[in-house]
Structures are given as structure tokens and as C-alpha cells.
């Protein structure tokens, strides 16, 4: 009877069919099932896993509880896809969740059952192997992590290399930023090349970092992740579609950092693979004169060391000459072999006496990181030939027996035989010409002075050369970083060494050997007290008083160098040393 009624009423029939479809969608969850499948059950520790969770119906509200997975796996991404179709009377309806998982450790890990409302999926056991070069070979995408040394000395360069091998086309490749505690870090190289591994061609992406550990002990280098998408051949609207996301992790590394050998003074601690000295002079060494300056520039080039780590030169005083140093200039260059630092020191040398003057040899002590021993780089002594200062030998006001006029060198000579009238006429003509020439010369000098005066008044004040100041600030900034790092770790020996280096940097003319000398030069009693407590804590183990390291760092940061009492009060001053801006 109902069927007949519906058949005779098309509108009611359509409403009934729509109602049945809606009820089917809403009630389909009652017989839906939830399943989980993994693309692989055995993976390496640096690989990722694709997990598919499928609900055999339309999930209109909510999501499954995926937090149960996070105990053994990191969820890198989640995507959702729904499908509903009806073909030849057959209905297909499901909801998919695709998860990209990264294992947190090696061993047998479990993807536990996942719950969505009243449905629970199956659990999956995953075996995670430790990634090795042998197990990686042959895979379409894998990583390799290399370090050039298993142990280094403090402040010695360590090269870290990350490589991504891929035999498939990738797009949107990226790598996590590297952050290593207690170490200075610089990316020195990023290249791509082809390599054949076991008969298979790979595209290799190589990134090299130079690390400089600042404290002794264990240096922990964390694992990083390469992330990319498989390039798809499908194109939509002229653009290539992205395929599956691929994530591969690098290996974490632990490096042993050894302390500086106790027999080596901090002033000579420069761990490098090579150090070279060269010099240039602004003029010939055989054409010097007393009181006239000559500029000497010495370049220090250190392989596997930054410019800020190169120790400053020291010059002995002499009665034979005066030395006026300029601010040093620091620089770094980098390639796949590491960092090469440079330090350029220039100074004016003014001879005090004539004759032969010998400038002594210049030497730099450094630690050869390859041969594990101390070496010395040297510039030989230089001999200068100095002439006496010139003294004017001509008196322009002395009378001359003859005079030259014009370009014909007319010689006028008074002789007894010359007629007096002719001699008087010639003398008058000569006086007139000399007067005209003198007035013209005076006029030219006045015009020159006028133009110079106008030029000076119209020009803006000359720019100050801040290159040396910037170099000093760069060096002070790195020294302050070392002080703060050592204070944060309560590592008192490196802290004292860094404070001494800081004092020698702000007082380059002083031969500082103790912390007390720094405090005295700064005239800071509070800083003197903290320095005393630091020395007591270092050399007297039974001392109950300890320095306030936080206060000590603040005092150093806000230290003010006293003004030098010179006539040049307008010169740049580092006051305060570390401005907040």
C-alpha cells in the first residue's frame, strides 16, 4: 500500500529516497571497521614510516586518537582523505588518515591500537634497525654523517659533514638548522654531485660545518632531518604535483673535547693546522730619514682557526724608534676544508736616530693540531738604513754675484769696465722684473689659500674610519661570549683564561698577567672583589666563599675603559664596551 502511494506520488518518493541516503550515512558507523596498515615493518633508524588508518565509512565529526603513537614514534605529518562512490549498485565509502612517522629509538616498537569512537584498529609491530652504511646502500634515499676527528682539543676545528643520497627526483629539499651547545659553528660548504654506489647512481647533497668547541668534556652533536617530496610526473595546469613526503635523519655524534695542555700558556694557545706570517712595508727600507714614519703591516694566516682566535702580536720598546699601532683587522674565509682566519696588524715606525737600526724578529707560538706539538712561525729581523734629517743649505736672502732673468739666463756681472749708466739701467730693469714676479707669486699664494679655505668650509666633516673599531668590537663580542658560556657552566679555569684574554684586548698596550691588573686599570673595586674570589676558588679548594658569576659577567659587560689624557679628546672610545644596541 505504501509502495503504491509512493509510486503514485513522485515528490514523496524522492523525499523518501533522500531520507534513506542520509540515514544510511548517519547509521553506517554502526557496522564500520577501523584498520591500520604500514608500508613497511622493518626500517632503519634514520628512515620514516607511512601509516594508513582507514575507517570504512564517512567520518563526519572528530578524529582518531593518535596520541597513543607518540611514545615510540614522532608524528611528522598527518593528512586526511574521504571517498564515497556508488557504481553499478555497489557503494564504496571510507575515510583515510595518512601519517608520516619517525622512530624515536631502535628495537621492536609497537604502533598501538587506535580508537575512533567505538571502533579500535589493530596494532602493528615495527622493527627499527640501527642505520649503517651497509644497510643504507641500495636504498633509494639515505643519509651519511661524517666527522673528521673522534676527539679534539678545546677551540680546535672539527668538520661535520651531512650527506643525502637519492636515486629518485626530489623537490623542496630542506635541512633542520644545526645548533650545538658550547661550540662556535659556521657552515663552510654546500654542494651537489653525482656518485655511483654499488652500481647505482645517486645524486648527493653535501653540507659541511666547522665546529669550534669552547669547553672540555663531551660535545653532543644532535641528529638533523632532511625533508623533501618525491617529484611526480603528473602535471595539473602546467605545474608538477608533489608526491609523498620523504624524511631522513642524520646520525647524532658524541665527540671528546680535551682541555688545553697544562704546560701551554693561554697566550700561545692557537690550535691550527698551519700558521703563516708575511709583511709589507710602505716604502724602501734604505731610504728612511729620522722623524719620517714608515708603515709596517704584518698578516697572520691560520688554517682551521677563526680570525678572532688568533693572538695579537707583541712588540718590544726601543730607544731607536717609536711604534704607533693601528686597530687590527680580522677576517675569515671558508671552503669544504674548513675555516681560514686572518689577522692584520699595522703600525707606524718612526726612527729616532740616523744610522743602521735593527728591528727584532717577530714570532708567533701555535699548536700544530696535525702533529700534536707546539711550533713557532717567525719573521726574521729587519735592518733599516736611516739618514739624518735634511737641513736647508740655501739662504734665499744671501746676495749673489749674478742673477738669471727669464729663459735666456742673462748674466749680469758688475765689472769696472762697464759704463755706470748702463749698469744702472740694467739694475733698474732687473729690480722691476723681480718685483713683478714677486707680486705675481704672492697673488697666486693668496688665491690658493682662499680656495683651500672655501673648500674646507663647504665640505662635510670627514668620515671616521670605523673598520678598526668594528674589528675590536667583533673580538670583544666573541671574548664576552666565551666568558658568559664558562660562567653559565661554572667552569672556572676557562672563565679565568677568557677574562685574561678580554683584559689584554681592551688594554693592548699593557702586559697583563693577572686579573688584579685588569681591575686596577679599570679602577673597579667590585670587580676586584669578584676576581679575588675567583682566584681563591681556583687555588684554594677549602675556600668557603665563591664568586657571584652572574654579577661578575654583568660587571664585565658594563666595564668602562678610563679616558686617556691626550690632546685628541675627539677620538672614538669603546664606552661602554658592550652597548645594548
At 453-473, the pLDDT tens digits run 665 544 444 444 444 555 666
Angstrom CA distances, 329 to 300, 310, 463, stand at 10, 11, 18
| Residues 410, 389: Cα–Cα separation, whole Å | 35
Just give the CATH number of 266-387. Answer: 2.60.40
Is the confidence at residue 291, as pLDDT, over 50? Answer: yes
Mean pLDDT lowest among 85-99, 257-271, 377-391, 480-494 = 85-99
Cβ-contact 300, 364 below 8 angstroms:
yes
> 413: cis peptide before it, omega within 30°?
no
Is the confidence at residue 98, as pLDDT, over 70? Answer: yes
Mean pLDDT lowest among 119-128, 317-326, 395-404 = 395-404
- Domain locations in the chain as residue ranges: 29-129, 133-258, 266-387, 468-557
pLDDT value for 497: 85
29-129 with 133-258: one CATH topology? yes
Burial bucket for residue 472 (CB in 10 Å: 0-12, 13-18, 19+): buried
CATH 2.60.40.10 for domain 133-258: yes
Of the pLDDT bands very low, low, confident and very high (cuts 50, 70, 90), residue 409 is very low
Cβ-contact 210, 157 below 8 angstroms:
yes
DSSP 119-184: EEPPPEEEEEEPP-HHHHTT-SEEEEEEES-SEEETT--EEEEEEEEESS-EEEEEEPPP--TTEE
Rounded to an integer, the average pLDDT of 520-537 is 87
Using one digit for the tens of pLDDT, what is the confidence trace for 427-460?
A: 555 555 666 666 667 777 777 676 666 655 444 4
pLDDT value for 305: 95
Is the confidence at residue 267, as pLDDT, over 50? Answer: yes
**Average model confidence (pLDDT) across the chain:** 79
Of the pLDDT bands very low, low, confident and very high (cuts 50, 70, 90), residue 413 is very low
Residue % of the chain over a pLDDT of 90: 36
Just give the CATH number of 29-129. Answer: 2.60.40
pLDDT value for 275: 96
pLDDT value for 580: 43
* Whole-structure pTM value: 0.59
Phi/psi zone of residue 457: left (φ > 0), alpha (ψ -120 to 50 degrees), beta?
alpha
Residue % of the chain over a pLDDT of 70: 74
pLDDT value for 506: 87
| Residues 236, 259: Cα–Cα separation, whole Å | 60
| Residues 138, 132: Cα–Cα separation, whole Å | 12
Between β-strands 151-153 and 274-281, what pairing exists: parallel, antiparallel or unpaired? Answer: unpaired
Amino acid at each position: 500500500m505504501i509502495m503504491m502511494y509512493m509510486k503514485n506520488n513522485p515528490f514523496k518518493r524522492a523525499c523518501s529516497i533522500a531520507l534513506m541516503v542520509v540515514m544510511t550515512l548517519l547509521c553506517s558507523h554502526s557496522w564500520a571497521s577501523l584498520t591500520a596498515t604500514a608500508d613497511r615493518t622493518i626500517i632503519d633508524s634514520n628512515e620514516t614510516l607511512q601509516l594508513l588508518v582507514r575507517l570504512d565509512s564517512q567520518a563526519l565529526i572528530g578524529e582518531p586518537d593518535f596520541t597513543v603513537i607518540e611514545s615510540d614514534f614522532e608524528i611528522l605529518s598527518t593528512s586526511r582523505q574521504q571517498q564515497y562512490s556508488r557504481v553499478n549498485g555497489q557503494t564504496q565509502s571510507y575515510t583515510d588518515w595518512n601519517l608520516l612517522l619517525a622512530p624515536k629509538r631502535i628495537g621492536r616498537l609497537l604502533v598501538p591500537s587506535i580508537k575512533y569512537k567505538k571502533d579500535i584498529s589493530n596494532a602493528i609491530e615495527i622493527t627499527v634497525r640501527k642505520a649503517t652504511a651497509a644497510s643504507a646502500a641500495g636504498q633509494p634515499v639515505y643519509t651519511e654523517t661524517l666527522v673528521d676527528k673522534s676527539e679534539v682539543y678545546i677551540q680546535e676545528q672539527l668538520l661535520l659533514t651531512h650527506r643525502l643520497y637519492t636515486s629518485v627526483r626530489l623537490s623542496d629539499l630542506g635541512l633542520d638548522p644545526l645548533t650545538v651547545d658550547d661550540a662556535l659553528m659556521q657552515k663552510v660548504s654546500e654542494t651537489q654531485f653525482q656518485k655511483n654506489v654499488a652500481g647505482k647512481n645517486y645524486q648527493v647533497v653535501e653540507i659541511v660545518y666547522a665546529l669550534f668547541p669552547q669547553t672540555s668534556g663531551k660535545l653532543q652533536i644532535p641528529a638533523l632531518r632532511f625533508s623533501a617530496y618525491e617529484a611526480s610526473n603528473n602535471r595539473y595546469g602546467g605545474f608538477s604535483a608533489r608526491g609523498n613526503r620523504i624524511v631522513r635523519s642524520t646520525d647524532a655524534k658524541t665527540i671528546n673535547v680535551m682541555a688545553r695542555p697544562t704546560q701551554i700558556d693561554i697566550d700561545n694557545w692557537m690550535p691550527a693546522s698551519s700558521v703563516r706570517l708575511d709583511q709589507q712595508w710602505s716604502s724602501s727600507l734604505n731610504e728612511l730619514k729620522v722623524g719620517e714614519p714608515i708603515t709596517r703591516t704584518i698578516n697572520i694566516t691560520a688554517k682551521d682557526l677563526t680570525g678572532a682566535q688568533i693572538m695579537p702580536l707583541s712588540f718590544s720598546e726601543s730607544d731607536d724608534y717609536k711604534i704607533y699601532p693601528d686597530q687590527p683587522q680580522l677576517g675569515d674565509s671558508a671552503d669544504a676544508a674548513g675555516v681560514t682566519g686572518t689577522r692584520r696588524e699595522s703600525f707606524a715606525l718612526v726612527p729616532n736616530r740616523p744610522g743602521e737600526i735593527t728591528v727584532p724578529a717577530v714570532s708567533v707560538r701555535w699548536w700544530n693540531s696535525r702533529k700534536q706539538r707546539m711550533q713557532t712561525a717567525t719573521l726574521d729581523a729587519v735592518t733599516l738604513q736611516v739618514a739624518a734629517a735634511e737641513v736647508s743649505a740655501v739662504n734665499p736672502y744671501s746676495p749673489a754675484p749674478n742673477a738669471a732673468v727669464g729663459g735666456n739666463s742673462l748674466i749680469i756681472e758688475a765689472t769696472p769696465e762697464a759704463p755706470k749708466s748702463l749698469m744702472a739701467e740694467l739694475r733698474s730693469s732687473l729690480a722691476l722684473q723681480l718685483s713683478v714676479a714677486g707680486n705675481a707669486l704672492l697673488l697666486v699664494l693668496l688665491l690658493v689659500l682662499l680656495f683651500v679655505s672655501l673648500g674646507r668650509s663647504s665640505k662635510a666633516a670627514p668620515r671616521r674610519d670605523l673598520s678598526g673599531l668594528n674589528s675590536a668590537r667583533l673580538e670583544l663580542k666573541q671574548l664576552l661570549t666565551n666568558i658568559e658560556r664558562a660562567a653559565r657552566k661554572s667552569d672556572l679555569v676557562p672563565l679565568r683564561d677568557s677574562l685574561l684574554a678580554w683584559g689584554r684586548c681592551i688594554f693592548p698596550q699593557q702586559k697583563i698577567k693577572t686579573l688584579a691588573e685588569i681591575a686596577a686599570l679599570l679602577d673597579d673595586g667590585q670587580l676586584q672583589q669578584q676576581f679575588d674570589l675567583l682566584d681563591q676558588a681556583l687555588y684554594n679548594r677549602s675556600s668557603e666563599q665563591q664568586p657571584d658569576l652572574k654579577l661578575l659577567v654583568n660587571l664585565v659587560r658594563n666595564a668602562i675603559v678610563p679616558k686617556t689624557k691626550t690632546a685628541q679628546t675627539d677620538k672614538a672610545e669603546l664606552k661602554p664596551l658592550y652597548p645594548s644596541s
